Amino acid sequence: MRHVPLFTLLSMVIVLAAGCGGGGDPDPTPVGVVKVVTLPSSLDAGWTLTGPADAYFEGTGDERHAGSAVGTWIIVWDEIADWERPLSQSRTLADGDSITFTGQYVADPPPTVGSLAIDVEPDDLQIRWVLKRLAGVDDDRSGVGDVVLDGLPAGPFTVAWQRVPGWNLPAPGWVDGLITVGETSAASVTFTVLPAWPFATVRLEAGTYTMGSAAPEPGREADEGPRHEVTLTRPLLIAISELTNGQWDAVLRDGRVEDPTLANQPVVSVTWYDAVIFCNAKSAADGLTAAYTVNGPQVAWNPDADGWRLPTEAEWEAFCRAGTQGSLSDGELSRLDMEVDPVLSFFGWSAANSDNRVKPVRALLPNPMGLYDVHGNLLEWCWDRYGEAYYTAAPATDPSGPVTGSDRVLRGGSFADANQRLRCAARLGLDPSATAGIVGFRPVRNAPTVKSGGE
């Protein structure tokens, strides 16, 4: 048997021991991640967190603690007035793992109501709204623009918005929803600018028409008689509405109104001379022969020209009446004052229904010819000089007013007038150089003659 010397064995033990040590790292300390989440997050609630090895943290709201020792962790939530705090929680953290403490605070007492955020776009548009609640809940409210309404009982709601001149309210004009306990519901709407109405016309054929009012007509004045028939030999093309700001700017391009929401408002505060200038400019733009020759304050009319012009008083009443014989083109006026008339209110803006302001064109019903605002909204310039007794001597064919006189005729009544002034036969005279916020005009022109099939 061979013996290994003792010193050799000792050397081997030392070498093996050195090889086993080899400079290697000791086992790492086991750690993990502890997370804290508080709800609702806006409450920013406080808490105290304790763990192994005397670990201790205090904080508010959400936090994350990486490198936390493994073992048992405990969290205690702070008291907050008017809120019920969560119970203390205990979690065991394992090596390389994570634990989350979630603290859900509950309003004390629990909420029984919710909120509603009413949002109108664009933000600076102050739109009136009405909030309607479930039947049997007496909680209807109204207001203007953006708002948050708190303390609303849970349940269905409807928010309806007011229509605003110049702006398009998306159909159907209201939003339905549900108010949820403890939450904020939303009712939103986005208004857009209404497109501008194009310039359009209606045709009036040549023929014989009634002019003036009958003696028994309520509201009749002396300058409206005698009632008589007139023959118009020229067929007309008549602007479907009073001239608008958009239509004016499309011809003269003078930036009369820069706000695009006013494009469909009728042009106001124009003199009779302004209307004449526009008619000639539109004739030139459309390649037509100008109806007027202007020499300072003197204006001569060529009745045979096909260009745009102002209607004669007889033409105006013919297309206003649209073949009818009553005080209005679509019935009889029953109220002469500034109270709402059951017939007129559907197609005429007067002091009774206008809130004393001009309205966009084509906002009410048209007359039987399809013409808008021949009753009210604005007084409309005519070609004729005004003569109080003119009807007693007017020619029966194509009357065009007295030869002399300082004022020009206005017809139709305005948004600021009593209902009486909106009758078909009502007349008024005004200095042609005067302007007023209740005066506009409606261009017409001679229409091409319609030939029969054999011609």
In the predicted model, what is the mean pLDDT of residues 228-236? Answer: 97
Q: Residue 4 falls within a domain, yes or no? A: no
- The DSSP-derived string for 307-331 is SEEPPPHHHHHHHHHTT--SSBTTB
Lowest mean pLDDT among 120-129, 198-207, 221-230, 424-433: 120-129
Confidence of residue 92 (pLDDT cuts 50, 70, 90): very high
Domain end marker among 107, 137, 158: 107
Ramachandran bin of 438, using left for φ above 0, alpha for ψ from -120 to 50, beta for the remaining angles: alpha
Domain end marker among 60, 78, 107: 107
The pLDDT value recorded for residue 14 is 34
Q: Structural domain tally of the chain?
A: 3
Q: Residue 99 falls within a domain, yes or no? A: yes
Contacts of 388 (CB under 8 A, 6+ apart): 222, 223
Whether the CB-CB separation of 236 and 318 falls below 8 Å is answered with no
Token output for 280 = 């000639």
- Domain boundaries, position 40: 31-107
> Are 214 and 350 found together in one domain?
yes
Token output for 69 = 């020792």
Confidence of residue 41 (pLDDT cuts 50, 70, 90): confident
Give the 3-state secondary structure of residue 423. coil
Q: Residue 13 falls within a domain, yes or no? A: no
> Are 80 and 124 found together in one domain?
no
Confidence of residue 454 (pLDDT cuts 50, 70, 90): very low
Residue that is written with structure tokens 């303390």 in the block: 151
Nearest to 144 by CA among 114, 166, 164, 171: 164
The pLDDT value recorded for residue 7 is 37
The total of other beta-carbon atoms located within 10 Å of residue 65's CB is: 17
d(CA 227, CA 219): 15
Burial 262-295 (b: 16+ CB within 10 A, else e): bbbbbbbebbbbbbbebbbbbbeeeebebbbeee
Amino acid letter, 70: V
Strand-pair partners of 147: 118
> Are 38 and 124 found together in one domain?
no
Please state, for a pLDDT cut of 90, what percent of the chain lies above it. Answer: 79
Q: Residue 23 falls within a domain, yes or no? A: no
> Are 220 and 280 found together in one domain?
yes
Digit-coded pLDDT (tens) for 308-350 = 999 999 999 999 999 999 999 999 999 999 999 999 999 999 9
> Are 393 and 332 found together in one domain?
yes
Whether the CB-CB separation of 438 and 415 falls below 8 Å is answered with yes
Domain at 429, CATH number: 3.90.1580.10
Digit-coded pLDDT (tens) for 434-443 = 999 999 999 9
Amino acid letter, 288: L
d(CA 425, CA 227): 9
Q: Residue 6 falls within a domain, yes or no? A: no
Digit-coded pLDDT (tens) for 113-130 = 889 999 999 988 889 999
> Are 93 and 179 found together in one domain?
no
Q: Residue 19: is its pLDDT beyond 90? A: no
> Are 397 and 269 found together in one domain?
yes
> Are 150 and 247 found together in one domain?
no
Q: Residue 18 falls within a domain, yes or no? A: no
DSSP state of 377: S
Domain at 42, CATH number: 2.60.40.10
> Are 151 and 126 found together in one domain?
yes
Q: Residue 16: is its pLDDT beyond 70? A: no
Strand-pair partners of 121: 190
Whether the CB-CB separation of 197 and 244 falls below 8 Å is answered with yes
Give the 3-state secondary structure of residue 346. helix
> Are 395 and 268 found together in one domain?
yes
Amino acid letter, 352: A
Chain-centroid distance of CA 252 in Å reads: 27
Q: Residue 401 falls within a domain, yes or no? A: yes
The pLDDT value recorded for residue 42 is 85
Strand-pair partners of 56: 50
Tell me which of 84 and 245 has the higher pLDDT: 245
> Are 101 and 61 found together in one domain?
yes
Q: Does the global pTM surpass 0.75?
A: no
pLDDT, averaged across the chain: 90
Domain end marker among 51, 82, 107: 107
Q: Residue 158: is its pLDDT beyond 50? A: yes
The size of the chain, in residues, is 455
Please state, for a pLDDT cut of 70, what percent of the chain lies above it. Answer: 91
Q: Residue 26 falls within a domain, yes or no? A: no
> Are 222 and 361 found together in one domain?
yes
Tell me which of 10 and 138 has the higher pLDDT: 138
Confidence of residue 218 (pLDDT cuts 50, 70, 90): very high
d(CA 310, CA 410): 11
